[in-house]
Structure 1
Amino acid sequence: MKALMPYRWWIALVLFAAYSIQYLDRVKSSVLTPSMVHDIGLTTSDIGTGAFLMLLFYGPSQYVSGLLTDRFGAKRILIFSVIAWSIMTVWMGHIQTREEYLWRMALFGMMVGTEYVPSARILMRWFNKEGRARAQALLSWAWILTPAWASVLATQLAAHADSWRLVFYITGALGVIPLLMIVTWVFDRPEQYPKITEADLEYAYRDELAAGTLRQGQYANAQGEILSHEGLRFRDFFRNRSYVAVVFVDIVMQITLYGALTWIPLYLSDVFGFSLKEMGLWSAAYFIAGAVGSFTSSYLSDKVFHGNRRVMILTCFIGLVPFIALLASLQHADHALLLVALCGMGFFGNMAWGPFLAVPAEIFTPEVYGKAMGFVNGAGYTVAAFSAKIFAALVVVDGAGMKDYSYGWYFIAACVLLGVIAASQIRPQRTTPAPAAPAAKRALSS
């Protein structure tokens, strides 16, 4: 019986679903911040410090998880990550003091910075250049689309239960779902899946087959064969201009993403006076538009621009700046302009995920994607940690206690302009012609 879809897309869906559940914590912590601030007695500075600590430890954890992924396998690291996430999420519901909050945020970053790189590493091996950006875009929906529904779910549940803590207890228990999904359905490599077909193997290793690194039908020791031809050392990454550019692109993307996650809910609450329920609904507009932008750009990157990732990355940054400036200029509840600003930021601000996350695998090889992408994300999150502190310091409070977030948004806009310069340095990778395949097998390549 013919499968409804290639197994690689089933793995992509499973990883998206598992990562979405893990991403719930950051969304809840963001949209429930106003309630937590009131209950625990946190200040704007404390929120900035919490985001700083989480990202500060989350960054190095990305690199370490990349090294461990390449050495021990992505599936094992993912299982650890899910268990750690569940424990950290339940702990958040117990927080009583400022000090506990800051300790939890630091440990959360350290323990849970292990979820992305293993997931992406698996996708980079199962997909070739024709589908990598779309696979990464689907995974990126975990941090783009999840806030769209999770922000509404968290605020509605907290409002009806009259307790933000209950939300953390319930979602922490949901960790058993991604754990079972990963154990049951995820395989590090195509050749490890018992029911893998020859067509799927040829698709996954198409680039290596075309380059002569592998011979058709000889996939049992594919990883060893590929690595024996590469001989890459860590310092070799930085001799590639495109890789260095991707590091800076990631920094800008993380600053933008965590600027939205951390500050949009507080901005809507403080400047526009939205209630908890209203804030969740308005925050969702940014993330729904982001999901559309992410997949649209990734489809164009794969199918229209044929792996030229630079085009959509530049489109992302150039299109994003005007909408950040618009949001910064809004000081009154003009709902139409606010909706335009949030949707525009979401659409353009998330267009680069699929294209740029695929670049390291195409510059080098998926076999070293763990440490290559681990360093990229580590740098991105570490710098984003300091950006959270900078944004908090730029929030101006007048004598009446009113807050002005404009300078914080202008800071993010300035970072995005630097991203334009970085993206322009990414060089399109030469596409090696794929070997001819029978029509039936070509049908599986999409």
Structure 2
Amino acid sequence: MARPTRVRYVILLLLFVVTTLNYADRATLSIVGSALQKDLNLTPVQMGLIFSAFAWAYVAGQIPGGWLLDRFGSKRVYAWSIFLWSFFTLLQSFVGWMSVTWAVATLFTLRLLVGVAESPSFPGNSRIAAAWFPTSERGTAAGIFTSAQYFATVLFAPLMGWLTYHYGWHSVFVIMGLLGIAMTGVWWKVMHEPDEHPRANIEELTLIRAGGGLVESSHGAQSESRNPVRWGDIRQVLGQRLMIGVLLGQYCINTLSYFFLTWFPVYLVQERGMSILKAGFIASIPALCGFAGGILGGILSDSLVRRGYSLTFARKAPMVIGMLMSTSMVACVTASADWLIIMLMAFAYFGKGFGAVGWAVVSDTAPKRIAGLCGGVFNAAGNIAGITTPIVIGLILQQTGSFNGALIFVAANALVAMFCYLVVMGPIKRLELPESTTTDSGAIKGLEVKRPVSN
């Protein structure tokens, strides 16, 4: 027999690169935030609202984005997603030539459009990982594409800070928009479904399928016509204790993410007195640690699966350890030295990355027929934090004039996330929708629960 090809790792590299650009475009506003706030004379609450504009649309687009992925397939929908979010990022460079009122309104609208365009991205990542990777490799795969959010800051925060310092904040939107538009062509050339990829041999497909990979789950419109999505399916999934815990936990975990994506560079400039250029470089240090934590958490989780531990223990252990690490940021309230602040933030961000196993859990548990839609629901719940976190922190700053309350608020969310995984979720198992799901009255019958092969 021929040896299995390793095309799935090329697909994973593509997901990593695209997700890096995805998060870099989200972070543009946080890096240029201080300069933009000064130019437009905005209050902290106004900045918080503009920071949250992306998340309002991103959350609203999750379920439609997941449905589009299940209906038309990952390749086509994701390609349009990349092009559109990059185009709307490019357009943000023009707001500086408008009056203040028009600039604020236009920037808010364009951030909304970026959010809508990016909404299929992470459900697409989860769907592609579920199709291309066996269960014993899925934690590592999810850890790698999730860690791209940290690598985006490592790679692009210094570049954006340098561009802002030398060429103004407008240049950041131009460069990032053009990079994303170019990436659209790369995606279209490289991405294929598992059983349609010209370089994936039958041995690799057999390995993926035998390990629990959903090789036949991603046929776009064809599978949709055979298995139409019913909203009752989503109601059944949301009624499960496991999914309730995953959704609440992801909201709390993303509170940490959105603090670092929005207010953290502003914290370095306004609270610690750093220049924008220095803050851009300093912000990359915790992000580098988050990147390492994301990969190591996924590797540890999959290692536990291969050693015979239950899937429940293998996914929950890294999460609990990571969230405990993240609570260390509260020590910044009393710390005074900049080097100590950066060390504490780096340790907290490492923990956040280490414990971010939610996408692996969704890939392990989502019913096959609605994998994209489940990813959309999961991502919508998690990214509500993108709406609440910037606004809550902005209100705390306006009321107290200090980031201390904000740091306590963010750290408390790590503790709540631990509670959701340890107490609310229960065992981690694959949820299966029966093929015949309706009674005579159209009501949806109960879910079947199937334990994964590797558990």
The question of a shared fold, defined as TM-score above 0.5 by the shorter chain, is answered with: yes
User: For residue 195 of structure 1, what is the aligned residue in structure 2?
Assistant: 199
Query: What is the distance in 2 between the residues matched to 1:286 and 1:5?
Result: 36
Query: What is the letter of the counterpart of residue 417 of structure 1?
Result: L
Number of paired residues? Answer: 415
Aligned ranges for residues 300-311 of structure 1 at < 5 Å?
Answer: 300-306=300-306, 307=311, 308-311=314-317
Query: What is the distance in 2 between the residues matched to 1:144 and 1:296?
Result: 13
User: What stretches of structure 1 move > 4 A for 4+ residues in a row?
Assistant: 2-5, 218-225
Aligned ranges for residues 27-426 of structure 1 at < 5 Å?
Answer: 27-96=27-96, 97-161=103-167, 163-187=168-192, 189-207=193-211, 233-306=233-306, 307=311, 308-321=314-327, 323-330=328-335, 332=336, 334-353=337-356, 355-396=357-398, 403-424=401-422, 425-426=424-425
Query: What is the distance in 2 between the residues matched to 1:5 and 1:277?
Result: 44
Query: What is the distance in 2 between the residues matched to 1:329 and 1:280?
Result: 24
Q: C-alpha displacement at 1:328, in angstroms?
A: 3.0
Deviation string 1:393-417 (CA, Å, 9 cap, x unpaired) is: 011567xxxx411111111122221
- Asked if the contact 1:45–1:392 (Cα under 8 Å) also holds between the matched residues in 2, the reply is yes
Q: Normalising to structure 2: TM-score of the pair? A: 0.85
Query: What is the distance in 1 between the residues matched to 2:166 and 2:218?
Result: 55
Q: Which segments of 5 or more consecutive residues in structure 2 lack a partner in the other structure? A: 97-102, 430-450
Query: What is the distance in 2 between the residues matched to 1:373 and 1:221?
Result: 17
Q: C-alpha displacement at 1:289, in angstroms?
A: 0.3
- Asked if the contact 1:41–1:98 (Cα under 8 Å) also holds between the matched residues in 2, the reply is no
Q: C-alpha displacement at 1:3, in angstroms?
A: 9.3
Query: What is the letter of the counterpart of residue 331 of structure 2?
Result: L
- Asked if the contact 1:58–1:109 (Cα under 8 Å) also holds between the matched residues in 2, the reply is yes
Give the SS at the match of 1:71: helix
Query: What is the letter of the counterpart of residue 200 of structure 1?
Result: E
- Asked if the contact 2:286–2:350 (Cα under 8 Å) also holds between the matched residues in 1, the reply is yes
Query: What is the letter of the counterpart of residue 137 of structure 1?
Result: G
Query: What is the letter of the counterpart of residue 410 of structure 1?
Result: I
Q: Would the alpha carbon gap of residues 83 and 171 (structure 1) be closer, same or farther in structure 2, given more than 3 Å must change?
A: same
Q: Normalising to structure 1: TM-score of the pair? A: 0.86
Q: C-alpha displacement at 1:361, in angstroms?
A: 2.5
Query: What is the letter of the counterpart of residue 361 of structure 2?
Result: V
Query: What is the distance in 2 between the residues matched to 1:192 and 1:259?
Result: 40
Query: What is the letter of the counterpart of residue 270 of structure 1?
Result: Q
Query: What is the distance in 2 between the residues matched to 1:105 and 1:88?
Result: 8
Q: How high is the sequence identity, in percent, across the aligned residues?
A: 20
Query: What is the distance in 2 between the residues matched to 1:110 and 1:168?
Result: 18
Query: What is the distance in 1 between the residues matched to 2:346 and 2:205?
Result: 40
Query: What is the distance in 2 between the residues matched to 1:388 and 1:30?
Result: 11
Q: Which segments of 5 or more consecutive residues in structure 1 lack a partner in the other structure? A: 435-446
Q: Would the alpha carbon gap of residues 208 and 256 (structure 1) be closer, same or farther in structure 2, given more than 3 Å must change?
A: closer
Query: What is the distance in 1 between the residues matched to 2:156 and 2:218?
Result: 42
Query: What is the distance in 2 between the residues matched to 1:260 and 1:405?
Result: 13
Deviation string 1:213-270 (CA, Å, 9 cap, x unpaired) is: 99xxx99989959x87x99811221233221111011101211100111111111101
- Asked if the contact 2:4–2:204 (Cα under 8 Å) also holds between the matched residues in 1, the reply is no
Deviation string 1:133-163 (CA, Å, 9 cap, x unpaired) is: 11111111221111112100111122222x1
Query: What is the letter of the counterpart of residue 284 of structure 2?
Result: A
Q: Would the alpha carbon gap of residues 383 and 152 (structure 1) be closer, same or farther in structure 2, given more than 3 Å must change?
A: closer
- Asked if the contact 1:18–1:177 (Cα under 8 Å) also holds between the matched residues in 2, the reply is no
After TM superposition, the structure 1 stretch with the greater mean CA deviation from structure 2, 231-240 or 4-13, is 231-240
Query: What is the distance in 2 between the residues matched to 1:208 and 1:221?
Result: 17
Q: C-alpha displacement at 1:382, in angstroms?
A: 2.1
- Asked if the contact 2:285–2:342 (Cα under 8 Å) also holds between the matched residues in 1, the reply is yes
Give the SS at the match of 1:196: coil
After TM superposition, the structure 1 stretch with the greater mean CA deviation from structure 2, 134-143 or 18-27, is 18-27
Q: Would the alpha carbon gap of residues 54 and 432 (structure 1) be closer, same or farther in structure 2, given more than 3 Å must change?
A: same
Query: What is the distance in 2 between the residues matched to 1:352 and 1:267?
Result: 24
- Asked if the contact 2:135–2:212 (Cα under 8 Å) also holds between the matched residues in 1, the reply is no
- Asked if the contact 2:77–2:120 (Cα under 8 Å) also holds between the matched residues in 1, the reply is yes
CA RMSD of aligned residues (A): 2.7
Query: What is the distance in 2 between the residues matched to 1:86 and 1:107?
Result: 10
